[in-house]
Amino acid sequence: MSPKAPKLAAKTPKSKASSEYTAKQITVLEGLEPVRKRPGMYIGNTAETGLHHLVWEVVDNAIDEAMSGYCNLINVILTSDGMISVEDNGRGIPVEIHPQTKVSAVETVLTKLHAGGKFGEGGYKVSGGLHGVGVSVVNALSEYMRAEVKRDGKLWVQEYKRGKPQAKVKAIKPVRGTGTTIIFKPDPQIFTTLEFKLKNILDHLRQQAYLTKAVKIEIADDRDKKNKTLYTFYFEGGIASYVRYLNHAKEPKHDTIFYVNKEIEGTIIEIALQYVDEFNETTITFANNIHTTEGGMHLAGFKTALTRTLNNYARNKNYLKEKEENLTGDDTLEGLTAIVSVKLKDPQFEGQTKSKLGNAEVKSMVDNVMNEFFGIYLEEHPRDAEAIMGKCLLAAKARLAAKTARDTILRKGALEGLTLPGKLSDCSSRDAQISELYIVEGDSAGGSAKQGRNREFQAILPLRGKILNVERTRIDKILANNELKSLIIALGTNIGEQFNIADLRYHKVIIMTDADVDGAHIRTLLLTFFFRHFPELITKGHIFIAKPPLYRLAKGKEIRYAYADEEKEKIITELTKIKEKPEKVKKPEVTEVVEVEGEETEIVSKGGQKIVIQRYKGLGEMNPDQLWQTTMDPATRVMKKVNILDAAKADEVFDILMGNEVENRKKFIEIRAKSVKNLDI
């Protein structure tokens, strides 16, 4: 059952260290029983996200070995029988009897929650993983698991089924070197999908390779025997290489990427940054290789030091005159691409998902390192420093111009009593938690939506035509645009420095556009607007996309709606389900086009039964009742919640699709053209 793994380096980077990692370092906190009952508590869900989380947990153990300096090669194999193998050349999980559990330390690690080298003293200096539950959860949620450990000159093996060991750990043959291989097959009784997405795995492991300098990660996809693929990630430059990768489609303002790696009191601080010719900031933070999406103390320390260091340099070099005000944080962040990675002994994460780092001492550490070494960088690279200062000073001038424009607009709004836009048909409820704002394309659709909605909690804001592309537009121009200004006032949160999510008037903001090319373009423009200027609305789950049907199918009094061509064909088959014997039903399917109430409508005859099919070209073609039933009724509607799984990738895609570089956009479209379905030309 074990896939054949390639040979790994026999000698680990710190071969003598294995004697320091024994069963004494494995601390047991609790049993494994709750995992199969409530898997969502441990891996998020039992769909695609949770399935891939199993891989991250096993890989995290190998990364922990690498971060501690004991591993330099990790190999991941996807096999044709639905299994995944993760092998490392670290120290190998201890195999001797654990003093507390009275079974092998391998079995303890794989069958007990919160058992591992990251608890207690002497195991790991720094580590990641999901609160240390890691590989035991993977075992509990796997139909089959096999652990292979190279240690003490032998290959030790143990197999499990749904978390239960099938035999004791035993040595099967002599081997050279050390390391651990975990092979597992997710349990179909637990997961709704068992298909691993290669792209998801590659994206995650590429990021881990950037964050763990000089560690090679190999991924082999052996699922298709005729087209086996092998990918290798190895980045000697670490996060400096990551910054270069993030900026590969952008125009850098300076050549030399700033990079520092410094250890203070056992905490490793690594920072890399480069400015580009953009308005938007991309700062990604990590703690022990875990992506802290909400930032935390390391981010706060970085931003404080960045602004202070640039202001000090600007004063010393006379970029800022005596009477001129300092650069603000926003001035120094415009066009910045930065990675801030910290590795520490006892990380304190806020929230179950580890999205924010709470260690207060890290703030001052990052602040000190950034202040000292970025200051040295500016002095030693005067040409790069000049380009950075030019970028920041230009941002400051634009900010002052935008402030003047914004103050003018808001002052005017204050004189008008900050009235809501006239085109907004507001709801009667003032409870933001139940209130919904539909952003609708065009007056025609807006009219149907206004008549079909539930006035108590649904508000309608129609937009005329395509809104401004905000990808490379400053805030003063955004506020001067009537359509966007109406939307900002309707949301109630204000924008930029004055943004306050607590003032959001609707907890569901729903983009409702036609299912055609123009509708998709308007939807993309709106998503760009929210992503660049209201990202918190996305991360907090307030932005949705309505999914109106493409077809209305009627057979007598029975009416069904289809949202895709495949669904239409399925409904036709269901509606024409014949009870007579098949040999009696051999009438060919006949399609005719007629006019019903002034609109082109298809009539499909199948097996002597007629189905009337109406193709909706736009929301405005639906009468209010149809729009309510299909797209606005909370009991029956279909909506997509907008989220950001990968902020860096999202930033890159928006930059390509909505930026000025035509060649990058052309290449993006050419690569994906063949995979487009239902293209409306």
Q: What does the pLDDT look like over 293-320, one tens digit per residue?
A: 889 999 999 999 999 999 999 999 999 9
Same domain for 334 and 270, yes or no, is yes
Same domain for 502 and 473, yes or no, is yes
Can you tell me the mean pLDDT for 523-532?
90
169 occurs within a structural domain = yes
Check whether 184 has a pLDDT greater than 80: yes
Percentage of the chain lying above the pLDDT 70 cut = 81
Rounded to whole angstroms, the Cα distance separating 94 from 432 reads 55
pLDDT at residue 507 in the model: 96
Band of residue 632 on the pLDDT scale cut at 50, 70, 90: very high
DSSP result, 260-283: EEEEETTEEEEEEEEEBS-S--EE
289 occurs within a structural domain = yes
Strands 267-275 and 282-287: what pairing?
Answer: unpaired
Check whether 115 has a pLDDT greater than 80: no
pLDDT at residue 384 in the model: 97
Neighbours of 158 (CB within 10 A): 21
Can you tell me the mean pLDDT for 49-58?
93
Same domain for 394 and 379, yes or no, is yes
Strands 267-275 and 336-343: what pairing?
Answer: antiparallel
Band of residue 350 on the pLDDT scale cut at 50, 70, 90: confident
Same domain for 159 and 19, yes or no, is yes
Query: 533: closest CA among 392, 330, 396, 340?
Result: 330
Same domain for 169 and 145, yes or no, is yes
Assigned token pair, 278: 């953009």
Model's pTM, two decimal places? 0.67
Tell me: the pLDDT tens digits for 263-294? 999 899 999 999 999 888 999 999 988 889 88
Neighbours of 450 (CB within 10 A): 19
- DSSP, collapsed to helix, strand or coil, labels residue 578 as coil
Same domain for 474 and 540, yes or no, is yes
Tell me: the pLDDT tens digits for 121-134? 445 555 554 334 57
Tell me: the pLDDT tens digits for 11-30? 445 544 445 677 776 665 45
Band of residue 580 on the pLDDT scale cut at 50, 70, 90: very low
Given a contact cutoff of 8 angstroms between Cβ atoms, the answer to whether 391 and 273 are in contact is no
Residues making up the chain, counted from first to last: 681
Rounded to whole angstroms, the Cα distance separating 655 from 407 reads 29
Check whether 230 has a pLDDT greater than 50: yes
> In the chain, how many domains are there?
4
Rounded to whole angstroms, the Cα distance separating 679 from 681 reads 6
Query: Which CATH number do you get for residue 23?
Result: 3.30.565.10
- DSSP, collapsed to helix, strand or coil, labels residue 170 as strand
pLDDT at residue 13 in the model: 53
Q: What is the CA radius of gyration of the chain?
A: 29
Query: What stretches of 8-127 show up as alpha helix (H) in DSSP?
Result: 34-37, 40-43, 48-67, 105-111
Query: What stretches of 250-351 show up as alpha helix (H) in DSSP?
Result: 297-316, 329-333
Check whether 532 has a pLDDT greater than 90: no
Given a contact cutoff of 8 angstroms between Cβ atoms, the answer to whether 159 and 144 are in contact is yes
Residue 292: which domain range? Answer: 239-399
Same domain for 468 and 502, yes or no, is yes
Which range has the worst mean pLDDT, 117-126, 439-448, 538-547? 117-126
Same domain for 485 and 541, yes or no, is yes
Query: Which CATH number do you get for residue 506?
Result: 3.40.50.670
Backbone angles phi, psi at 606, to 5 degrees: -145, 120
Rounded to whole angstroms, the Cα distance separating 493 from 565 reads 39
Can you tell me the mean pLDDT for 92-117?
84
Can you tell me the mean pLDDT for 329-356?
87
423 occurs within a structural domain = no
Same domain for 227 and 297, yes or no, is no
Higher pLDDT, 173 or 133: 173
336 occurs within a structural domain = yes
63 occurs within a structural domain = yes
Same domain for 200 and 279, yes or no, is no
Rounded to whole angstroms, the Cα distance separating 443 from 425 reads 12
What residues contact residue 62 under an 8 Å CB cut-off, 6+ apart? 71, 74, 86, 87, 88, 90, 180
Can you tell me the mean pLDDT for 553-568?
87
Query: Which CATH number do you get for residue 382?
Result: 3.30.230.10
Given a contact cutoff of 8 angstroms between Cβ atoms, the answer to whether 551 and 609 are in contact is no
Check whether 572 has a pLDDT greater than 60: yes
pLDDT at residue 598 in the model: 47
Tell me: the pLDDT tens digits for 394-447? 999 888 877 776 666 555 543 344 567 778 999 999 999 999 999 998 777 888
pLDDT at residue 5 in the model: 45
Band of residue 116 on the pLDDT scale cut at 50, 70, 90: low
Would you name the residues annotated as active-site residues?
Answer: 441, 514, 516, 518
Residue type (1 letter), 393: L
362 occurs within a structural domain = yes
Q: How far is CA 43 from CA 137, 211, 334, 470, 572, in A?
A: 8, 22, 36, 37, 39
Query: 358: closest CA among 366, 371, 349?
Result: 349
Band of residue 521 on the pLDDT scale cut at 50, 70, 90: confident
- Which residue(s) pair with 218 in the sheet? 75, 232
Given a contact cutoff of 8 angstroms between Cβ atoms, the answer to whether 27 and 107 are in contact is no
Mean per-residue pLDDT of the chain = 84
Q: How far is CA 675 from CA 226, 672, 678, in A?
A: 22, 6, 10
Higher pLDDT, 201 or 592: 201
Query: 138: closest CA among 45, 31, 53?
Result: 53
Same domain for 449 and 312, yes or no, is no
Same domain for 512 and 584, yes or no, is no
pLDDT at residue 658 in the model: 66
Can you tell me the mean pLDDT for 95-113?
88
490 occurs within a structural domain = yes
Which range has the worst mean pLDDT, 80-94, 558-572, 590-604, 618-632? 590-604
Assigned token pair, 678: 């239902």
40 occurs within a structural domain = yes
Helix then strand then coil, in percent of the chain rounded to 5, is 40, 25, 40
Query: 534: closest CA among 490, 568, 584?
Result: 490
DSSP result, 550-576: SEEEEETTEEEEESSHHHHHHHHHHHT
Higher pLDDT, 6 or 388: 388
Band of residue 214 on the pLDDT scale cut at 50, 70, 90: confident
